[in-house]
Amino acid sequence: MAQYIEIKTANPGSLLFYRMGDFYELFFEDAELASRTLGIVLTKRGKHLGEDIPMCGVPVERAEEYLNRLIAAGHRVAVCEQVEDPAEAKRRGPKSVVKRDVIRLVTPGTLTEDALLDARRENVLASLARVKGGEGEDGYVYALAFADISTGSFRVAETEAGRLPADLARIEPAELLVADAIYDEPALRPLWRALPAVTPLPRESFDGAAAERRIAGFYGVATLDSFGSFSRAEITAAAAIVAYIERTQLGARPPLSRPQREASSEAMVIDPATRANLEILRTTTGERTGSLCAAVDRTVTSAGARLLARRLAEPLTDPARIARRLDAVEHLVDEAGLRAELRERLAGAPDLARALSRVALGRSGPRDLAAIGRGLAEGATIAGLIAASPAPEELTQAAGVLAGVDPELAAMLGAALADELPLNRRDGGFVRAGYSADLDATRALRDESRRVVANLERRYVEETGVRALKIRHNAVLGYYVEVSQQNADRLREPPFDVVFVHRQTMAGAMRFTSTELAELEAKIASAGERALGLEQRVFDELVATVMAHAEAIRACAEALAVIDVTAGLAKLAVDEMQVRPEVDGGLDFAIEAGRHPVVEQALRRDGGPFVANDCELSPPEKARSGRIWLVTGPNMAGKSTFLRQNALIAILAQAGAFVPARAARIGVVDRLFSRVGAADDLARGRSTFMVEMVETAAILNQATERSLVILDEIGRGTATFDGLSIAWASLEHLHEANRCRGLFATHFHELTALSQRLSRLVNATVKVKEWEGEVIFLHEVVPGAADRSYGIQVAKLAGLPPAVVERARAVLTELESADRAAPTQRILDDLPLFAALNRAPAPAAPAAKADPVAAAVKGALDSFHPDEMTPREALEALYKLKGMAKGG
């Protein structure tokens, strides 16, 4: 317990997995917490300060399973192992404690084991740094560094306070490192609540003065000049990542690539609300199934799936880079044979990046080395397939990387490792026969000792001429040579007298030994241990060779992922009849017969067709800003699907994928905003309507001329006229101030009148057909405006009681009898346009003309003294005022 408490004290904030034999044990508060989290039995062991010590434990062979559950629950774990043989401890005395030490801190952002990771998702460790000197409102410059130590990727980017939510949503860190001072700031706390794990660190971890020296030391270089140009905030953030990795890995160095700088303008900005609304990587319930990523993923490798998710999370804004990706996809769309062969080869390629990371951190087994060898071999074959015919730049670059890996490395790993491999190196039996002569001989001693002894016996018989010579074994003498008394003198004569040494005389026989036999006996006795030791030495040599080629292997892993994503998107394009979009630097947004990539596949599974629709948001002739479509129509008609599909088409196009449409021409979207659906945030005291207004405010304050805005049912969460007013003003602001391309769906039909005064506003509606009192949804978007929402028909479809439906019809008839067009027209005629209200103050009201009656009444009132009047006088005064008001 003294040893446990000492180690626990050195690792505050972490559950201590304390190795005792075949179990990791937890004590005190750790045991109570782990017992509740894991659902395992809480027991006790001994006493401390007179009280029972709580204890629980997990088997070592199932440790990864329990670690996964603890990490998922937000805990950190310090793994404490026995660092000496128990036999050594016994030599120091019967009560000596086996030496133990923490070999690793397990945190959400530093996982590397396959059992603890999602193979198709990155596991990002991020850090947020802040330094003074920014041009923003708070005077700070912010930077994010983000690394995946399971694959070696490492990137940094400057950001600003307003972009932090969008950038963190894009990166999706499993763990975020922040300085204590930043962590405690009230303005930033909402950000932390949205993340799975935030780890505050002391100020020293973000010491800008020591940052460059810390990074240089990690990479073993004298200066960072060759790494590129980084800001002070970026270097500080990167150094915090490096320091945390060194702390948690206790000296082990993952094969991190050199930090790659990202410009803030390289990727489309998508805020957290938009990502959630559009269900890009996961649905609103947190599942991958049903998301855009799941619908378009045709990759066959884990690395490819991770790269595809990253591309969808951060679509490009550079038309040239987008075109390069599209060229590669188009090539594999056209080359069906090459596409099929590449996918077949890729399916056999293992996860090189994660295998390499485990090798570097000392957590690998023989299967990781074999995976690297197999992956490199497949990479060389794939490079040859691409090089066999002309290919676009994206593919030829990847093929060049694959071809650049030393072919001897894969050959060596294949020659060294057996076909059937154990999971752990300690199990042995993983080195192929014939690779090491010493190991083969030692194995022969271990596995075929009888044959080895028989061979030696046969040689002794031939050399001495004594046919009755036998080599035998017993527990007292071990191995010995036995001959009859008649032949004993033969072994005592030269030259055999120096070879054989007398050991024992029996009644009818004599026993001898020899130096060679003694050595053979020792070898046989230790052959198993020696064979395992030789295998461990071979393993270490292979690891050293692999790490000497770490940069090339990581580059090979990235190249395989690029080829897999490209081939997968090509197969998607063929399977789903998608087309190559035209993406340029203009403001066009013209989609012909666009389709929703997720809904279309769901309908196909159910046997129904998807109705394609056009969307034209390009600037009208001679206009310098894009259109806004005001979409009306009944519930359940498909307005939300139409809105979302166009946003998803923009994401796919700028990610470098073909799109579900007959044709698409898209000017690069710099920011994508979507306000669709209803949700509250009760933990922060926000109602559904408050959330709606906060998200709408973010759009109106940030959208630019190059943005694409998707708004659905703004204002529906409050009273009718309040909501209509907010929707009206928001639509005017988008048109006049933001001047963005947009889709605005509403049930406020009064808004359609705005098309009379907003030149780039276009009315569109979703067609329906009434038949014998029922409504039939045609899901076709056409020019025009709806005059009804058919809400009662939808309520009927939902199963409301017939009496409720009929009563609703009656109430609706009464309400619709009032003329609601008049007030709308009056607003259009009398109220200045939103932009005009912003540009100049409203004109002052004209001065009122003097009113003689009012003046007379005021004079009379001034002459009255109520406290001095009798009741009769007061009554007469009232009659006088009444007469004056009538003009008398």
Any binding-site annotation on 637? Answer: yes
pLDDT for res 193: 86
Beta carbons of 569 and 579 less than 8 angstroms apart:
no
Which residue from 312, 129, 138 is spatially nearest to 234, judged by alpha carbons?
129
pLDDT for res 678: 57
pLDDT for res 700: 92
Q: In what order do the strands lie in the sheet with 470-474?
A: 470-474, 478-484, 509-514, 500-505
- Crossing angle for the helix pair 393-403 and 366-387, nearest 10 degrees? 130
- Crossing angle for the helix pair 336-347 and 550-575, nearest 10 degrees? 130
553 phi/psi in degrees, rounded to 5:
-65, -45
Any binding-site annotation on 470? Answer: no
Given pLDDT bands bounded at 50, 70 and 90, which one contains residue 686?
Answer: low
Any binding-site annotation on 547? Answer: no
Look up residue 350 and give its two tokens.
Answer: 């293992």
Which residue from 621, 794, 648, 27 is spatially nearest to 294, judged by alpha carbons?
648
Q: What is the CATH number of domain 582-789?
A: 3.40.50.300
Greater confidence (756 vs 846) lies with 756
Percentage of the chain lying above the pLDDT 90 cut: 55
Given pLDDT bands bounded at 50, 70 and 90, which one contains residue 885?
Answer: low
Quick: pLDDT tens for 498-533.
Answer: 899 999 998 889 999 999 998 888 888 778 788 889
CATH 1.10.1420.10, the chain: domain bounds: 336-433+549-575, 437-528
Average pLDDT over residues 150-157: 94
51-59 vs 23-27, strand pairing mode: antiparallel
Quick: pLDDT tens for 245-275.
Answer: 999 988 788 989 999 998 878 899 999 989 9
The CATH number, out of the four listed (3.20.20.105, 3.20.20.70, 3.30.420.110, 3.40.50.800), of the domain defined by the range 121-264? 3.30.420.110
pLDDT for res 824: 66
882 has pLDDT over 70: yes
For residue 55, give every residue at least 6 positions away whose Cβ sits within 8 Å of its Cβ, in sequence order, or none: 25, 26, 27, 31, 42, 43, 44, 45
Beta carbons of 418 and 435 less than 8 angstroms apart:
no
CATH 3.30.420.110, the chain: domain bounds: 121-264
Given pLDDT bands bounded at 50, 70 and 90, which one contains residue 837?
Answer: low
Quick: pLDDT tens for 378-399.
Answer: 999 999 999 998 999 999 999 9
pLDDT for res 556: 96
Greater confidence (575 vs 160) lies with 575
830 has pLDDT over 80: no
Any binding-site annotation on 646? Answer: no
The secondary element (H helix, E strand) that includes residue 366 is: helix 366-387
pLDDT for res 841: 47
Average pLDDT over residues 216-236: 90
Any binding-site annotation on 640? Answer: yes
Task: Tell me the CATH class for 2-106.
Answer: alpha beta
DSSP string covering 375-386, please?
Answer: HHHHHHHHHHHH
Q: What is the mean pLDDT of the chain?
A: 88
Distance CA 795, CA 799 (A): 7
**DSSP 3-state of 682:** helix
347 has pLDDT over 60: yes
205 has pLDDT over 60: yes
Given pLDDT bands bounded at 50, 70 and 90, which one contains residue 774?
Answer: confident
For residue 193, give every residue at least 6 positions away whose Cβ sits within 8 Å of its Cβ, in sequence order, or none: 683, 684
Q: Does domain 437-528 have CATH number 1.10.1420.10?
A: yes
Q: What is the CATH number of domain 336-433+549-575?
A: 1.10.1420.10
Any binding-site annotation on 633? Answer: yes
Quick: pLDDT tens for 607-659.
Answer: 788 999 999 999 998 888 999 999 998 877 889 999 999 999 999 999 999 99
Within 10 angstroms of residue 887's Cβ, the number of other Cβ atoms is: 8
pLDDT for res 831: 67
Is 0.85 surpassed by the pTM of this model? no
